[in-house]
Amino acid sequence: MKQILIRPEIQSYGTFREFAADYALDERDVILTNEYIYHPIMAAENLKCGVIYQEKFGAGEPTDIMAEAILKEVKKYDARRIIAVGGGTIIDIAKVLVLEGGKDIDDMYDKMASLKKGKELIIVPTTCGTGSEVTNIAVLNRTKLGTKQGMVSAGMFADKAVLIPEFLGSLPYKVFATSSIDALVHAVESYLNPAASVFSEMYSVRAIEMILAGYCRIAKEGQEAWKEDAEDYLTASCMAGIAFSNNGCGAVHAMAYAIGGKYHVPHGESNYQYFVPVLRWYEKKAPGGRLDELKDILKKNMEAGGFGRTDSDESAVDLLGELLDRVLPAKKMREYGVVQEDIAPFAQSTVDNQQRLLKNSYVPFSREEIQAVYQSCL
């Protein structure tokens, strides 16, 4: 049985300048990024390579339509390497750009197991959440299906994942908060996955420790404190990515895709909606065992960071909810426009489209149970 696979090689650089010099970027390289990430840091290097700004092809998280338009654009270049410099949106599109063997995006989903990599892929994450730099999955909104879905292919593993904390300097607080919560969910869902190994668990636990230490500091010192821990968050999100890349996320991610697809709630924010409610559901349905071990880890780390009291018997899950609320106040689904009539179709869509994730849940989730959790979050 597989214990752990870590791909690709992970590197770090103090600055983009050092990275660009080491990689000798030239005319056969294409950078996929956003203009507001390119200008403050990359523009000064007078690079010879091609640059594509994702936002020229549509706003928000990636859709099949956006990815298809960028695929056409990239064909105008004789690209040898694609360099993704951005958040999960940029990274996931770049993963599709390097694949060969599909006519269009729908066809690529149908044939994903047989797609091959045709170009080198270098990934530089500029948020601290997705861990997408170390996974072989891209998540696109499939507009005809009305939900987000993962495309999985061995050809999507990057050739190098490069951590350059300099890029996090321009990250707005809210993107920091939602993306780092996404990383925490990756670590926790991977930890609770029945297929977790002692190796994946090690990456989960270290990521949880680093993120909770940072969150406790925010609770004590205020929002700006995250910037001093930016490098830790970037490392932690990569570690959480290694963990879930080996066994997968579960019910929280499965439930998040329906609201993400219909109401365009950003990925980290939609996971946040269901994170604590799903843990509470597990507490009710399957107390003890591995969940208790997780709760011990959560509590120990929150107490070490000065959040919560050792003599309190408050559940670690409730305490975690309070800490997350200090990082970013939680919202109900209604605040995004969700109505009662959405609840049953959301539960059905989760069952129909997200079995890949649901099968990794700590305990099995029926359609009725999913619907009940959605209802509690409305």
Ligand X SMILES: NC(=O)c1ccc[n+]([C@@H]2O[C@H](COP(=O)([O-])OP(=O)(O)OC[C@H]3O[C@@H](n4cnc5c(N)ncnc54)[C@H](O)[C@@H]3O)[C@@H](O)[C@H]2O)c1
Site residues, ligand X (CB under 6 A):
34, 36-37, 61-62, 86-90, 92, 126-127, 129-132, 135, 137-139, 148, 167-168, 170-171, 175, 179, 182, 267-268
Q: Which stretch binds Fe ion (CB under 5 A): 176-184, 228-236, 272-280, 299-307?
A: 176-184
Nearest residue (CB) to ligand X, 175 versus 294:
175
Q: Residue 338: which of Fe ion, ligand X, none does it interact with, CB under 5 to 8 A by kind?
A: none
| Short-list 180, 266, 275, 164, CA closest to 226 | 180
What are the strands, taking DSSP E only, across 289-354?
A: none
* Nearest-approach distance from CB 15 to ligand X, in angstroms: 14
Sheet holding 29-33, edge to edge: 9-12, 160-163, 120-125, 81-86, 29-33, 50-53
Beta carbon of residue 170, minimum distance to ligand X (angstroms, whole number): 4
Name the residue nearer to ligand X (CB basis): 124 or 316. Answer: 124
Residue 37's nearest CA partner among 55, 23, 63, 62 is: 55
Tell me the C-alpha distance between 113 and 6, whole Å.
Answer: 20
Q: Which is nearer to Fe ion, 19 or 245 (CB)?
A: 245
We find the least distance from the C-beta atom of residue 210 to ligand X, in angstroms, to be 17
Report if residue 133 touches Fe ion, rule: CB under 5 A.
no
The contacts of residue 202 (CB under 8 Å, 6+ apart) are: none
Residue nearest to Fe ion (CB): 182
CB of 357 to Fe ion, least distance (A): 10
Question: What is the smallest separation between the CB atom of 147 and ligand X, expressed in angstroms?
Answer: 11
Told to check if 209 binds Fe ion by CB under 5 A, we report no
Give the number of other Cβ atoms within 10 Å of residue 146's Cβ.
Answer: 13
CA 257 to chain centroid: 12
Cβ proximity to ligand X: between 180 and 295 the closer is 180
For the chain, helix (H) and strand (E) counts, in that order, are 15, 10
List the interface residues with Fe ion, window 33-92 (CB under 5 A): none
Helix (H) or strand (E) holding 233: helix 230-247
| CB of 164 or CB of 291, closer to ligand X | 164
Comparison of 66 and 291: residue with beta carbon closer to ligand X: 66
38's tokens: 């390119």
For the bound state, the minimum distance from the C-beta of residue 323 to ligand X, rounded and expressed in Å, comes to: 20
Report the C-alpha gap between 320 and 323 in whole angstroms: 5
Query: Is 182 one of the binding residues for Fe ion (CB under 5 A)?
Result: yes
Minimum CB separation of residue 176 from ligand X in Å reads 9
| Beta carbon nearer to ligand X, 54 or 305 | 54
Binding site partner of 88, from ligand X, Fe ion, none, Cβ cut-off 5-8 A by kind: ligand X
177, 184, 220, 221, 306 from 225: Cα distances, Å: 12, 18, 9, 6, 15
Output Rg (C-alpha) for the chain, integer angstroms.
20
From the list Fe ion, ligand X, none, which binds 67 (C-beta under 5 to 8 Å, kind-based)?
Answer: none
Applying CB under 5 A, the residues found at the interface with Fe ion are 182
